[in-house]
Structure 1
Amino acid sequence: MSVNEHGAQATPEQRFVAPDWWIYRGTGRPLHDIDLTRILPAPPPWRDFHGGPLPEHDVPPDDDGESSRRLGSEFHLADRDVDPHELNMVNAALYLRRPLLVTGNPGTGKSSLAYRIARELGLGRVLRWPITSHTSLASGLYGYDAIGRAQAAATGGGREEPPIGDFVRLGPLGTAFLPGRLPRVLLVDELDKSEADLPNDLLSIFEDGEFVIQELARVRNRTPNVTVHTADPNRTAEVVDGRVGCHAFPVVVMTSNGEREFPPAFLRRCLQLEMQDPNVEQLAAMVANHLLDPGGEHRDRLVAEFAAKAREEGGLPADRLLDAVYLATSGAYQPDDVAWGRLMDALWRRLSAVQ
């Protein structure tokens, strides 16, 4: 049973009602024939950015298939099955141009949220920035291959120095802040794995909406316009005077497993959403989205068993349900086999034990 925005259980009638101000509906179905720049209200004055120049081909790159891999190719999640609190927070983030910090148990769909937003709103390829203990702000913004440029100059036989932009590549974070009429979706995955300083390091770009590429700023007097590589395959962008500034603030989804606390200054600049474990309806829709067991022979049984096991174990990653249904429908195992129960026990319980 879903809950309403006040935390109480919602009736089926309540779950179908959506406020008029919601743009994102959470089903993952693309909203065709919409212009997000027209239906999204103007940002608050304190979140209004004017970076430029806007590119001539001002369209986000097409999705590279990652959304279908993560979400499935079908659309079986109904409006009534989506958590209203999740929709409230995502739409508030869209309106306020604020980053969204998403917490929850492993496997609750935190990362998938970024792909649902991008696919539903037609925002193209998601820029994913996976965080590790060695990730720095600089690595997310851009990289400059000084050695490669020096080698290219040395082997050029005295010809003209190679363009500096050939040796600059924007990272996922830097690419997300390129100017454009439509926002890009940036997934900052597993932020709680970062060094202690990274959340505070992000404050400046989240507040200012821009950053400087020092190597380009140094040559701006003789080369003000430089074409650089981006984090999108085979895409480039023009940088003027060494400065990158957004026009539409990106949709930033930062995920955390709740393994650490973040500084108050960082939390003040974010909206926070705690993802709930998926209910039976959401699990069944997830399986159907991936075209597993279209007839439902094994799906309903395994969904019910998985939901019961998840309650018993205190939560299980939902992708383990997909694994089980795939095994049941591929012919590798049958639910009536003697070994099936032991396999499911190992597949589900063992993973729970190492969380």
Structure 2
Amino acid sequence: MRFEGTADYVADKDLMVAVNAAIALERPLLVKGEPGTGKTELARQVAASLGLDLIEWHVKSTTRAQQGLYEYDAVSRLRDSQLGDERFNDIANYIKRGKLWEAFAAERKCVLLIDEIDKADIEFPNDLLQELDKMEFFVYETGETIRAVNRPIVIITSNNEKELPDAFLRRCFFHYIRFPDAETLTRIVEVHYPGIKQKLVSQALAQFYEIREMAGLKKKPSTSEALDWIRLLVADDVQPEDLRTDAKNALPRLHGALLKNEQDVHLFEKLAFMTRRQ
């Protein structure tokens, strides 16, 4: 069982090595990188490439580790006991399976995505140490132990918003997705927009990388934002020569797809003002 990329996802050699190493070691793959570099999509493409089902657990700031295992609805059980509902006699009726339970109980091997783990509380990763390591957990209400029938391929993503505990990192295989160079990003564009004019792509990406490298930029545009921008350029039938930055107007065409806060817009406007004064 080896991941070798897909026709819809451009994966470099190092990324494929990382995925296959995690599969061989049977350890979670922790993937970090800038937002919009394809971390979440990686799990979907690994599942598609290997012909496996995908279970997605999208973590939020309010997400608790216990929710990934199961949740016990004691309030509903109390209400049913007062109403004389027969469901009360079986406590299993009030237990909702979490995403880890779904993955452990799957009849065939699957891919489990734990997306943006760094959004949750700092203790969240620690609370999943044993479950991800031993691939089992105990359900106190029913007294049963849930063990993985088939050990899932676990892919965990992080935007590096906060540091993860050392004990958690020790149990993972780590890979950082570097921002793609111009050649790789050109291939990504071709995958998403087959037959696109190469001259437009070349001119657009040249300007895109100039924007990313501008000093003082608060948020650098990502791969997904580059794709959105190029899509808009094609939709508006923008010609390559029209993309050249006008000294009197430093803002790129359709800049709302690339610049996502007023500070960066003002930076370009200030640059245009200084250029005009000169």
Q: TM-score range by the shorter chain?
A: 0.7 to 0.9
Distance change in 2, residues 1:117/1:96 (3 Å): same
- Residue aligning to 1:286: 188
Q: Is 1:319 matched up with 2:224? A: yes
Q: Which residue of 2 aligns with 1:206?
A: 132
Aligned equivalents of 2:195, 2:89: Cα separation in 1? 56
Residue 197 (structure 1) shift: 1.3
Native 8 Å contact 1:100 1:272 kept in 2: yes
Higher helix share: 2
- 2:17 match: 88
Correspondence 1:214-225 to 2 at 5 A: 214-217=140-143
Query: Mean Cα displacement is larger for which, 138-147 or 268-277?
Result: 138-147
Q: In the alignment, residue 287 of structure 1 is paired with which amino acid?
A: V
What is the RMSD computed on CA atoms of the aligned residues? Answer: 3.1
Structure 2 matches for 1:163-242, cutoff 5 A?
A: 163-182=90-109, 184-217=110-143, 242=144
Report the number of matched residues.
254
User: Which residue in the other structure is 1:259 paired with?
Assistant: 161
Distance 1:76 1:269 in 2: 27
Aligned equivalents of 1:324, 1:244: Cα separation in 2? 47
Q: Is the 8 A contact 1:177 1:246 kept in 2?
A: yes
Matches within 5 A, 1:24-63: 24-26=3-5, 28-29=6-7
Q: CA deviation at 1:171?
A: 1.6
Provide the residue aligned with 1:121 in structure 2: 50
* Kept in 2: contact 1:334–1:340 (CA 8 A): no
Gaps of 5+ in 2: 265-278
Identity across the alignment (%): 32
- The C-alpha deviation readout for 1:84-122, integer Å capped at 9, x for no partner, is 221111111000100111111222212121111111111
The CA distance in 1 between the partners of 2:250 and 2:228, in whole Å, is: 13
Instruction: Give the aligned residue type for 2:235.
Output: S
Does 2:22 correspond to 1:23? Answer: no
Evaluate the alpha carbon distance shift between residue 307 and residue 215 of structure 1 in structure 2; reply closer, same or farther with a 3 A threshold. same
Q: Secondary structure at the match of 2:231?
A: helix
Q: Residue 296 of structure 1 corresponds to which residue in structure 2?
A: 197
Q: Secondary structure at the match of 1:303?
A: helix
SS at match of 1:143: strand
Structure 1 length normalisation: TM-score? 0.62
- Residues of 1 paired with 2:197 and 2:90: CA distance? 58
1:106 matched to which residue of 2?
35
Distance 1:179 1:187, change over 3 A: closer
Find the counterpart in structure 2 of residue 245 from structure 1: 147
Q: Distance in 1 between matches of 2:19 and 2:258?
A: 31
